[in-house]
Chains A and B, each alone.
Chain A
Amino acid sequence: MKSYITIMLNQWSVVLQYRWNMVVQLFIQCGSLLISIMTWRAIYANTPQDAVGSYTLRSMIVYLCLTHISLLLFSTESIVRIGQLVRSGKLTWLLLRPYSLLGEYMATLVGQKLFYLVVYAMMIGLKWWLGTSVSYIAVLGIYSVAIFVMYVLLMACLSNIGFWLVQVWPLRSIMNAVYMILGGVLFPLHMLPATVASVLAKLPFALVGYVYANALQDQLTVRQLSIQIGYVIVWIVLLGIGYLVSMKKGLKRYEGVGM
């Protein structure tokens, strides 16, 4: 356990050293958020209605802010991790170490995203201070932890595709695009046809983006949020199995290149 904490703190200090990277990323997300807001403002300006898809312009802007912040915490750049480790041969070093690869990955992510984890904790704390019921805050807290675990497993599982691909550069931007639609970042998912929306809303991306933003906007009841936790747990189990299977198959294929 101690080694994981060391890894986490180490990663946090790396983030501080490369803080300009984080600043640039924040800047880029702000840009992306502004573009989304401008696009939707244009859409609202060109329609006679006040509400589009049951959102007023104001609540749409809040929704867009929340989904864009979620992109910072639940970012997709770590999907290239295994691919890079395989190509450089550094995977061998990690495999030889006396701790689990998944544990190391989780510790790394917690360290890298510590800043955003604190921001989210503060957001939830702010909601409690502003008067949201304790039961809702408790369920929201459990949901937040659960989706973080699910997200780690999702990225770890998807990242294992790096055992089979030589060049992983397209994965990052493709994952971003997939996240933008399936996570409800480009538009709230209920603007899609009802059947499609109800299926997509159960996928991990939506649970992390669209549903979480709705939860933070108080658009869900305690009961609805509890049901969402159920979906998250199902995904944790599925992705856990997927990770183990893909890791086993990937390692068989791995040849320790570069060592």
Chain B
Amino acid sequence: MSVSLYLALCKQSVHTFIIYRTTSLLTFLMSILFFVVELYAGVVYFDQIDQLYGWTREDYLVLISLATTVTYLYQTFFVLAHEHLTESILDAQLDMILLKPVNAYLFYALYRLDISSAISAMMGLGVTGYFLQSYTVTVVQYLYIGVCVLLAVGLLFSLNQIIVTCSFWYDNLTSLLAVPEYLTDFLSRPRDIFPSTIRGLFTWGVPLLIAFNSPVLILRGEMSVRYVLSLVLSNAIFGFIAWWLWRKGVERYRSAS
């Protein structure tokens, strides 16, 4: 998987985006709607209360905006690729790429960019920036938040990749593919609303909860290095599992061509 190959795939993505610009525009508008819904729900919640376990409305809105931005970033780089890979596995059409002198795992993972999600991500960052105005954020904190956002995207990638690879073994579990999306939705909430077992599971097991909460924790000065370690370790472990499952799946693969 060379840089020039990746650039070629990026170019294809841009061409697809321009050719199907109506679709892309509609997709973009609809994702904005989703974002607005989440933000507005937060506003309605905080109409009823002043603070939620010490979190203010701004804390909550920063959480929502950054969590949504993380989702958009994952979608930008990987969602179309994962959809394409799922279809290819279920239709047993992997031969073309497996036979070529390219790293098939990377090829399928980086197959297509979603430009409209990229635009949504930039918008998400803009909205986050707007909410961050009510905080004094140091450069170090910005960098810290940036690192946590990248680790969150990486974790989402690995989780989705693992589930997509399960299609090598099970072809009637299509609901499972939506699980990371639902987990993201469930876990982009302040961690204090969860009972301690769930909080523990999603902080040390699959640290999505801490991934989404980390920006606000950093702003409130409550972030601990242990959480970052958990994020880094989970990225490494789930990344390895995703790659290992891929190898096992390919060994098992029988072509339909």
Contact = CB atoms under 8 A, between A and B. Distances in A.
Interface stretch (A32-40, A208-216, A236-244): A32-40
A28 B49 contact: no
A217 interface: no
B41 A181 contact: yes
Nearest to A181: B37
Nearest to A35: B186
B37 A31 contact: no
B44 interface: yes
Contacts of A171: 30
Contacts of B38: 177
B225 to A, nearest CB: 27
Interface of A: 17-18, 20-22, 24-25, 28, 31-32, 35, 38-39, 41-43, 46-47, 52-53, 161, 164-167, 169-171, 173-174, 177-178, 180-181, 186-187, 191-192
Contacts of B44: 186-187, 191-192
Nearest to B51: A46
Contacts of A47: 48-49
B57 interface: no
Interface centre among A20, A35, A180 (most CB of B within 10 A): A35
B52 interface: yes
A239 to B, nearest CB: 20
Interface stretch (B20-28, B94-102, B126-134): B20-28
Contact of B52 (A32, A46, A167, A169): A46
Contact of B194 (A28, A38, A46, A169): A38
Contacts of A186: 37, 41, 44
Number of chain B interface residues as a range:
35 or more
Contact of B189 (A35, A41, A161, A187): A35
B173 A21 contact: yes
B13 interface: no
B1 interface: no
A127 B149 CA distance: 49
Nearest to A174: B30
B33 A25 contact: no
A166 B23 contact: yes
Identify whether the interface residues of B are mostly helix, strand, loop, or mixed. Answer: helix
A24 B189 contact: no
Interface of B: 20, 22-23, 26-27, 30-31, 33-34, 37-38, 40-41, 44-45, 47-53, 79-80, 83, 172-176, 178-179, 181-182, 185-186, 189-190, 192-195
A173 B20 CA distance: 20
A11 to B, nearest CB: 15
30 contacts: A18-B174, A21-B172, A21-B173, A24-B173, A24-B176, A28-B179, A31-B182, A31-B186, A35-B185, A42-B52, A42-B190, A42-B193, A43-B45, A46-B49, A46-B50, A46-B53, A52-B48, A53-B48, A165-B23, A165-B26, A167-B20, A169-B83, A170-B27, A170-B30, A174-B31, A174-B34, A177-B38, A181-B41, A186-B44, A192-B44
Given A24-B179, A43-B52, 14 more contacts: A17-B172, A20-B175, A32-B182, A35-B185, A38-B189, A38-B193, A42-B190, A164-B22, A166-B20, A170-B27, A170-B30, A173-B181, A186-B37, A186-B41
B174 A21 contact: yes
B111 to A, nearest CB: 14
A180 B38 CA distance: 9
A192 B45 CA distance: 10
Nearest to A46: B49
Contacts of A46: 49-53
Q: Pick from A21, A38, A46, A187 the residue with the most CB of B within 10 Å.
A: A46
